[in-house]
Amino acid sequence: MNRREERSRELREHYRGTVALVTGAASGIGRALATELVARGATVVVADIDREGVVAVASRLEQAAGGVDAVPTRALPAVLDVTNADDVAELVARTARDHAGIDFVFNNAGIGVGGPVADLTLAHWRRVLDVNLWGVINGVQAAYPAMVAQGHGHIVNTASLSGLLPSPMLVPYSTSKHAVVGLSVGLRMEAAGRGVKVTVVCPGVIETPLLDKRNPDDLPPVGSPDIRAMLTRLVGRPYPAASLATDVLDGVARNRAIIVTPFHARRAWALYRASPGLLIDRGAARMRGALRPSS
């Protein structure tokens, strides 16, 4: 076994026999994370507000878990609304109690809300902040004290490349993700001396159902562009969720503070850090092109 293969094996072994909770796990990034965690030998609480979806995912992963190198892994479904702080706290406490501790909490649940800022209402802003920001805060508030008490643990918060770069037409979403980045890196510095690790994930365009979803149906309708087409033109082609999950779990095993992936996302972030004005001006021009109706 060469050094690269040995390192890959070590990264996978990092999760063997651990206990993880993943929110937003019925689809997209959350489902991919749960799948990869089970494949690496973790017991995973698969949590989502979508009851049917989370039960289906957990059932499929539970059936697959028996073949993971003879490691007794489990996939356990949990219906959870991350905006309900009491329910989040109860699930984290129950998971820790039932498994004599909790090693990882992936605060991944999120929604997309966008459209021209001039057309948005306070209801649009409240909804995206309730889920994308307060959902993460609720997860941190529940998990961090428990991890401090047990002396170890790793909190992983899903933000977005939109949490590092300006994102026109997705301003409420981007606002929430910038806040998640700030929460995560600040907490990481505090938590370092207490045995708890914190990582924030900032993916580029990922192939998930979120790319094709409009704003929630119960919010006032607003006009918005084709998000998939717009982001693909501005940032790059969608990256498979399964590949993202591999990148994320490898980065978490390495205790990376900020995980930006794939390459097109790292390139855009590097350009923004080097010359914010250039990216903003260039992005504004490309944005006008992306919003022109196709002939």
Task: Spell out the residues 6+ positions from residue 128 whose beta carbon is closer than 8 angstroms to its own.
Answer: 111, 112, 113, 172, 173, 175, 176
Positions annotated as catalytic residues are 173
Cβ atoms of 141 and 190 within 8 Å: the answer is no
User: In the 3-class helix/strand/coil scheme, how is the chain assigned residue by residue?
Assistant: CCHHHHHHHHHHHCCCCCEEEECCCCCHHHHHHHHHHHHCCCEEEEEECCHHHHHHHHHHHHHHHCCCCCCCCCEEEEECCCCCHHHHHHHHHHHHHHCCCCCEEEECCCCCCCCCHHHCCHHHHHHHHHHHHHHHHHHHHHHHHHHHHHCCEEEEEECCHHHCCCCCCCHHHHHHHHHHHHHHHHHHHHHHHHCEEEEEEEECCEECHHHHCCCCCCCCCCCCCCHHHHHHHHCCCCEEHHHHHHHHHHHHHCCCCEEEECHHHHHHHHHHHHCHHHHHHHHHHHHHHHHCCCC
> In this structure, what token pair is assigned to residue 127?
């909804």
